[in-house]
Every structure is written in C-alpha cells, then in structure tokens.
Amino acid sequence: MNNIDHQLAEKWIKPNSRVLDLGCGDGTLLAHLQDSLGVSGYGLEIDEAKINEAVAKGLNIIEQDLNDGLARFGDQSFDTVVMARALQAVKSPDKLLVDMLRVAKEGIVTFPNFAYWQNRVYLGIKGIMPMSETLPHEWYNTPNIHLCTFKDFERLCDDNNIRILDAVAISDKPSPKIPASIMNHFVKRAPNLLADVAIYRIAKG
C-alpha cells in the first residue's frame, strides 16, 4: 500500500473501530491503522509467507481464500471492511462486495483501472495485454481474472444496491514533467482515462 492509501484509510476509518482487511498481505495497512488509529480486527490472507510477516507484526490473521466468502463472520461484525487491489482477483466480485457490506457498515475498495490511457495505448499499439507496475503480470500467469474500470465498478454498485460514498482517482506514477496540482485537476475530470488506481468508499444502499 502506498501513502495515499494510508491517508484515505485514516480519513475514512474512525479511531478505535473494528476493521476487517481482505487480502491483507504482510499486514502493512492493518498495522498502520492499529498504530495510528487504535483499530482492532482481523486480516484475511492466503499466502503463508505473508501471513507469517503479518503475525510477526502482532496482527490477528486468518488464513483464508477470499473466494470462500465471509460466512464465518456475523452481520455487522465490523465497522469497515478494506479490500486493497484484490477485487479483480476474486471469482465473484459482485457476491464478495455484497458480503462485505453484510459484515460491515462500510467498505473501502481499491483496484487497478484497466481503462487507464497507458493500458489503452499499450493494447492498441502492441496488440498484447498491457503490463505495468499496477498490472505486472503476463496474461497467462496473472491472478487478475476480472479486470474492470471506474465505469464498470459503478455499474456493478448500481446493480447491487450499493451506495458510493466517496471515490478517489490516483496515479501510482505521476509524471515528473507535470505539476501534481495540475495533474490532479485533470485526473478528477477524467478518472476513467487518466487514473490507474481507483479507490472507493461504499455502503449498503
């Protein structure tokens, strides 16, 4: 997770609240929230090496595949569920989003935007699936099975009675030739084209 993810999490997550981090990796975000906001909760992760790193940070980690759903948790067990850059890697993102908002009041979801202009140019010129820092895998070994765009996600929310409370468009690699203030202005005006990462805060409709 990068700094803007941390900043938004601190802005959107209340101090001393209960948090569930889906696909928590080595626990960097959850540890940050625990230290800065005093949150309590769990992380779900399937990679054993990352689980060991997260546990070494003093975190509560459950080994689980996100495709198995969240049936182990009761309704409204948490205040916020976070899923950072994992939505595109699950088999049924629609079902998982609905389940997230069953077990928590709000959700924070981030994912790579496949409609980003560099992906369009890459595919248009080279004629092969794009690769970047945000999408670093070859098409045949990528964990990403449901790549989507800002517009796709918003349509999915609409179809499943999910309210979008906040939406932020960011670029993982801002151009050094363009001042950040100017770039941010254009990204806000055309996020589906100019942002390579989408961050949403959602709630049940």
Residues β-bridged to residue 63? 45
Share of the chain above pLDDT 90, in %: 57
The answer to whether 197 and 104 have CB atoms below 8 angstroms apart is: no
Kindly report, residue by residue over 3-32, the tens digit of the pLDDT. 666 677 778 999 999 999 999 999 999 999
Instruction: Read off the pTM.
Output: 0.85
At 118, list the tokens. Answer: 């560099």
**Domains of the chain, residue spans:** 4-113+147-204
Average pLDDT of the chain is 86
Reported as a single tens digit per residue, the pLDDT across 118-157 is 778 877 888 888 777 777 878 787 777 788 899 999 999 9
One-letter identity of residue 33: L
Superfamily of domain 4-113+147-204: Vaccinia Virus protein VP39 (3.40.50.150)
Three-class DSSP category at 109: strand
Which one, of 39, 157, 173, lies nearest residue 109 by Cα? Answer: 157
- Mean pLDDT value of segment 72-97: 94
Average pLDDT over residues 87-109: 95
